[in-house]
Amino acid sequence: MSGAEARYTCELCRSPRIIRFNSVTRLFDTGHDNGLSLFSDIHRCQDGMLGINNLHVDHNYDVRSFDPLKLPSEKKQATSGLGLPMPKVSEDGMKRIRVTDSVGAGGFRLSIRDKGLDIFLLVGDVKPDVEETVLSITSAKGSIELSLFPSVEVSKYLPNWLQNLVDTLELLPPTKIGLFIDTLRYIRKLDKIPSANFHKTILRTILSSHKISFSMMPDRYVIELEKKRDLLGHDTVSDMTTLLEYLKLFPETTLLQFSGVYPHEISDLIYLFLLLQQEGFLFMNYST
């Protein structure tokens, strides 16, 4: 099996994709007897946005179908403001969304049940009806439930990070599925330390980055940033300058679109924008 690959062209960004299968990205049995296996291809897609395509691959590693993952566009009211018990949502009414590649998601195998979006998101080859959970977390208002299945080490701080994730998801308008994956990878990098308020801001910013736009401060010039090279570091100031100059040319750019311009982890990009805001060069607008 090692060395096998599948090729297809993403219909959204038109880029040719090569998926290599090894022991980690193995094909897995979907339980269908059509002989096709499901595999999720995660890549920077349109506008630099993280996209996920679910592919059905046959025994010869030919891609037989292509299904880009999307969330519903509206979040319905999931909780009553009056402290009344929430109506039970039957599982039949929930849309199941599966992302097979748990490697891109930091190695997590988990499920997220979101009653506001009517979705049941499965990350990795989990079998939620059969497997025992390692950890179960419910959001503050009860509309989102996360179950972790055997996968990553449960560090002392991981439950708190995942609690912050579901609490944040509950407060936001619908996010993009790719951004869940970005967020999980970010959490995986940091779950050995306690999450501070600063990290909560980053989680919220990653998850809503498709909605975030910028206002430039009219009387600040890039030349002022030059004076901060010693304080902030040479590379940081160069990166900040690149972002400011791009924003001058394309003032409508959203944070998520910047991830196509600046090809690093979105959490690093957010860190630079937070620095620019702190230094008084721009404002980040969280529109809902």
Shortest distance, CB of residue 236 to Zn ion, whole angstroms?
A: 30
| Residue number, 15 or 285, with CB nearest to Zn ion | 15
With respect to Zn ion, which residue has the nearer C-beta, 49 or 202? 49
Q: How far is 39 from 53, CA to CA, in rounded Å?
A: 8
CB of residue 193 to Zn ion, shortest distance in Å = 34
Residue 47 DSSP one-character state: G
Tell me the closest approach of the beta carbon of residue 74 to Zn ion, in angstroms. 24
Nearer to Zn ion, 53 or 143 (CB): 53
Q: Which residues bind Zn ion (CB under 5 A)?
A: 10, 12-13, 45, 51
CA 205 – CA 191 distance, rounded (Å):
18
Of the two residues 42 and 184, which places its CB atom closer to Zn ion in the complex?
A: 42
Residue 280 backbone zone (phi > 0: left; psi -120 to 50: alpha; other: beta): left
Nearest-approach distance from CB 226 to Zn ion, in angstroms: 38
- Closer of 19 and 45 to Zn ion (Cβ): 45
CB of 49 to Zn ion, least distance (A): 9
For the residues of 48-110, what is the DSSP string, one character each? G-EEEEEEEE-TT--EEEEEE----S-PPP-S-TT-PPPPPPPGGGSEEEEE--TTTTTT-EE
- Per DSSP, helices labelled H in the chain are 158-171, 177-190, 197-207, 222-226, 229-232, 234-249, 255-261, 266-278
Task: Report the residue closest to Zn ion, judged by CB.
Answer: 10
CB of 157 to Zn ion, least distance (A): 34
Buried b / exposed e over 53-68, threshold 16 CB at 10 Å, is: bbbbbeeebebeeeee
CA dist 143 and 261 (Å) reads: 35
Comparison of 165 and 181: residue with beta carbon closer to Zn ion: 181
